[in-house]
Amino acid sequence: MIVRAFILTAALLGGGIIAGAARADSGSPPLWQLKGKNNSIYLLGSVHALRDAMQPLSASILHAYQDADVLYMEIDVDDLDPAEVQQFTVTNGLLPPEQTLAGLLGEERYGRARSEAEKLGLDLDQLAQLEPWVVAISAVQAQVLRLGLDPDAGVEQRLARDAKRDQKEIRGLETVSDQLGIFDRLPLERQQDFLLMSLEEAIELPTALDDMIDAWSRGDVEQLAAIMSADFKAFPELYEPLVVARNRNWTRQIIALLDDDTDYLVVVGALHLTGEDSVIQMLHEQGYRAKRR
Strands annotated E in 181-282:
264-269
Whether 252 contacts 55, CB under 8 Å = no
Domain count for the chain, please give it.
Answer: 1
Check whether 55 has a pLDDT greater than 70.
no
Q: Note the pLDDT tens digit of each residue in 34-48.
A: 999 999 999 999 876
Check whether 217 has a pLDDT greater than 70.
yes
pTM score, two decimals? Answer: 0.87
Q: Note the pLDDT tens digit of each residue in 220-267.
A: 888 777 776 776 777 788 888 988 999 999 999 999 999 999 999 999
Beta-bridge partners for 40: 35
Q: How large a percentage of the chain has pLDDT more than 90?
A: 49
Whether 284 contacts 22, CB under 8 Å = no
CA-to-CA distance for 246 and 251, rounded, in angstroms? 8
CA triple 216-153-118, angle to 5 deg: 90
Q: Name the band, by pLDDT with cuts 50, 70 and 90, for residue 9.
A: low
Check whether 153 has a pLDDT greater than 90.
no
- What is the length of the chain? 293
Q: Note the pLDDT tens digit of each residue in 60-112.
A: 999 999 999 999 999 988 777 778 888 898 899 999 999 999 999 999 999 99
The arithmetic mean of pLDDT across residues 267-279, rounded, is: 89
Domain that holds residue 135: 2-292
